[in-house]
Structure formats: structure tokens, C-alpha cells
Amino acid sequence: MAENFSHETITTALNTLATEGVPSSLTEELTSALRHATSKTERGTASLCIDGSPLVSLSRHGSFTLFAPPQMSQNVSRRLATFDRCGRLILLMTWNPNGKLARFKVRGLDGRFLGIECGTASHLGWGLSDSVYILAGEEGFAIDSSLTLFGSVAYEDVNLLPPLDAPARLPAGAGSTILNVFALLARDQGKTLLRYRGPYPTERLFATLNESFRYRGEPGVTRERFTREAEEAAVNLTMLEVPVDWEPYPHERFFPAAHTCVQLRDGVEKVYDRGRIYYRPDLFANAYVLRAEQPEDGGLRYVASLAILGQSLEDHLILDAEGEILERPLVPPSRALRGTTQLADEWKAVLVRLIASESTAPLRPALWPVINELTLEWSPVRGELWMQTGNELRLHAGMVAAYREVLADVRSAGERLLLAARFTSELARLIGPVVRMRAQEQMTKLSPEEQQMSFLFSSSSPTGLPDNELRAFLMRLAMGEELPKLE
């Protein structure tokens, strides 16, 4: 057996299949085929193959995959199970004798398994659908709770990216977890381009697809083309085939600790740690940042932190180049503020104007009533950039300190104004999901006819502060006003 593949690793993987109820005939056939396999290395992946078809593969970052033997998979590459480099089961696929997928389970960022059953549901907009569940325990396919559904996929011949119903019902990162399975299968099948077909080509979906696929072209133009008809398609449940080609480019995951998941592709790209998700900035703009550093020893490490304006407020986790945990730094106390810490109505008007600019037209009228009922206040929050209790949003006081420290180093009036605009934009993106979610809850209380009327008569004029008042506010912020002072 090739030196990349230890007998112990393969035996452990086969034993896992047995405990998961995979038919013994399949594992026996796979074991027999492995005795005659030959090794091959291509594009950083080492494989044991028979008749040109892979039986096991070991990827660049250590993920280990078992495939069905050719005679049991109609001579196509049929993935059975994938394990992370620590030997933990990540993905298990159950195929019917006719070559169709019956179901699969895949481990989410929080360590629990998502279960997907094929063709078990129907949706008003697209018909036949696959059901998504949270599974109970480590072994088997015992359903704990039902989550949502998505358009059925031809898993043996993946040819599209399906629509997902009610993504808000999914645990954090579950959407990208499922999409990555599509990317793995499409790559196994030699597919080079897929398109999304459905009524929800949103900016959030565009960002999520980037975690498992890649596209050609300039990001801004491509994103605009992807989302161009999103509002009307969502209202009318129009099944659009969006003219953006996605090439399968799946990631790998492993769990260096019980509540930590590291996602790798071109290096470490994303980390889930104790409920928080940190992204590398080139993958997704987020306040929970994964930045790369090169210490004096010449190595590479990643630091997961809270950040604004590119400035770290708190460092939470330090990883090496392969995602192993090096350190959990102590979180420093928050900076003390003096003066009024509650954000005035003018601040709310600025924020709602910016949130509205990145929201769908039907949602915009509901944004101001939502933000108006909230109390926003700078506070000594630790561990998070904001915390919500009822109608109170407490914002990390370190953001004020970071802004004032960067402002002190800026000399020209133009740069100060740009900094003020960036600060308000980042703050709006931070609280925007909370405001939009509340607004969506208000919209769902409307009848379909009222929702349609809201879409038809939604104003194209800016929501919130008018242009001249917005400029005046940003100029004051650029001069250091509108924020409390530091102690």
C-alpha cells in the first residue's frame, strides 16, 4: 500500500462505515479492491486507484475520502465518506443500488451533523425538494429536528445549484456546509461550470458560494449581474437561471478542538470558534476577522479577532499555517468613555440610510420603524462587537477608541471625511442584519397582496437622513464630534 496511506487509517475509516450501517458487502468489496490498487498523485491529492478510478484519496490538507469500487458504482466516481485529518467523520453518503443518492449527512461548523433526505418534500415555487434536518448523536441518521428544504439535486450528475427555502432556519454556516458537498460531487464528476437556478440570487448567497466555488471576472460587476433581478424574483418566486458560471472549488475542514472548526482551501480561510465565525478579509468582509501574520521566525500564523477599520479590538485565537491552535490570548478590558454614550436619533438616521442602501426595495419602508424602537449605546462589551437585550443594542466601546486613534493619525480633511464614511458604513453593516431581520419579521405579518403592493410602490428615494444632512453629519464626525471622549 502506498506510503501516504497507513493501514491503520484505512482500517479505522472502514470500521466507521460499519458502525454507520454501510452494507458489509460494500466494505468487503472495497477492502478487496484496495489489495490491487495503485498509487497516483495529482494536483496535491494522493490517491489509490483501480482501473483509473479512485478508491481512497488524501487531499492537500489531510482530508481522507473513501469511494465505492468501480463495479459497485457503475464505473463512475462515487464518494462514500470523507474524514478530516484528525480522523473525524465529516461526510457520509448513502447510495441506492440504482445509483441514486438516498441521503447524506455532513458535519456542520458546530460539530453537529446535518442530515439531508432526497426527494422527500415539495415546495410551492420549485416542486420536488430535499429535506434538511439536525441529526441526534454521532452515529446513524436519527432526526433531532426538521430545519428546511431545498430544490432536489441530481447528485449522481450535479448540473445546477438549487434554491434554499428559509435559510434563517439553518445553524450558522450550514448553507456553506451543504454547498460544499455539491462542489465536492461536481469536482468528482469532472464538472467545470455550474449555475444557480432559483428565486433568491442574493448578495449573501453570492458570498456563500465563494466559499466552495469560484468565478471569473471582476467581483463588483459579477456580483451585480448575479443579484440584478433578485428582488422581483423573490416576490414572484421566479426560477431564474442566473448568468454567472461557478467552478467547483471545495474547501476542507477539520476540528482542532471540541468547539472549533477550521476551514482551509488556499490556506486558512475561515474559523468557527465557540459560536463565532471569523473570515479572512479577501473572502468575506466581516467584523470577525482572520488576519495573516508573519512573525520574526519567518513562519505564517492566523489571528482571529474582533476588528473595525482594520484595527483589532480583541484577539481571540492564534493558529499556525495549517490551522492548529497555538494560543488563546487574554482579552483586555474595554476602554472607558466619558460623555453621552447613547447614540442620538441622527445617528440612527445615518445608519438606517446606509442599511437601506444594501437592502431590497420592499424592505426599506420597514427599516426606520425598526431602528427607531431600538436603543443604541456604546458600552464596555467584551467578546462581541455588540450585544442585544430586548430593544437595547450595546456596541463595543473599543470601536470608538479605534476610530479616534486612527483619526489622530490622519492629516488631510479629505482623508478624515473618508474615514468617517468608512466608520459609519462598517457600523451599519455590523447592525444591519439585526435591523433587516426585524423588518423581515414585520413584512411576514403582511398578506401576499400587501407585500406585492409594498414592492410595487416602494420609494426609490433614500431612506433615513437626506444627502445634505448626511454630509454635514460626516463632516462633524470627521472633526471628532458625535462620539464620546476616551478616559
Confidence of residue 1 (pLDDT cuts 50, 70, 90): very low
Residue 392 lies in a domain: yes
CA of 323: how far to CAs of 260, 263, 270, 273, 300, in Å?
10, 8, 10, 12, 10
Q: What is the mean pLDDT of residues 105-132?
A: 97
Per residue in 168-217, pLDDT tens?
A: 899 999 999 999 999 999 999 999 999 999 999 988 899 999 999 999 99
In a domain, 284, yes or no: yes
Q: Are residues 318 and 360 in the same domain?
A: no
Rounded Cα distance between 245 and 477, Å, is: 42
Note the pLDDT tens digit of each residue in 224-249.
999 888 878 887 889 999 999 999 99
d(CA 241, CA 229): 11
Residue ending a domain, among 285, 305, 327, is 327
Q: Return the higher-pLDDT residue of 20 and 203.
A: 20
Residue 461 pLDDT: 45
Degrees, nearest 5: CA angle 441-435-200: 65
Q: Which one-letter DSSP state was computed for residue 165?
A: S
**The domain boundary residue, chosen from 195, 229, 244:** 195
The yes-or-no verdict on residue 464 having pLDDT over 70 is no
Place of cell 501574520: 293
Residue pair 198/240 in contact by the 8 Å Cβ criterion: yes
pLDDT of residue 460: 47
- 56 falls within a domain: yes
Same structural domain for residues 312 and 445? no
The percent of residues above 70 in pLDDT, for the chain, comes to 94
Q: Once rounded to an integer, what is the mean pLDDT over residues 106-134?
A: 97
What does the alpha-carbon distance between residue 369 and residue 377 come to, in Å, rounded to a whole number?
18
> Last residue of some domain: 133, 162, 195?
195
Range of the domain at 393: 337-486
Cell 478530516 belongs to: 84
Q: Mean of the pLDDT values across residues 306-334?
A: 92
Higher pLDDT, 149 or 446: 149
| pLDDT value for 177 | 97
pTM: 0.87
**Least confident among 122-126, 175-179, 314-318, 368-372:** 368-372
Predicted confidence (pLDDT) at residue 409 exceeds the cutoff of 50: yes
pLDDT bin (cut points 50, 70, 90) of residue 152 is very high
- Check residue 455 and give its pLDDT: 55
Q: Find out whether 313 and 402 touch, Cβ atoms under 8 Å.
A: yes
Q: Is the pLDDT of residue 3 over 60?
A: no
Asked if 438 and 373 sit in the same domain, the reply is: yes
Better-scored residue on pLDDT, 424 or 358: 424
User: Per-residue pLDDT for 463 more than 70?
Assistant: no
- Determine the average pLDDT of the residues in 52-73: 88
Same domain, 435 and 286: no
Residue 447: predicted pLDDT: 64
| Within a domain: 282 | yes
Quote the number of domains for the chain. Answer: 3
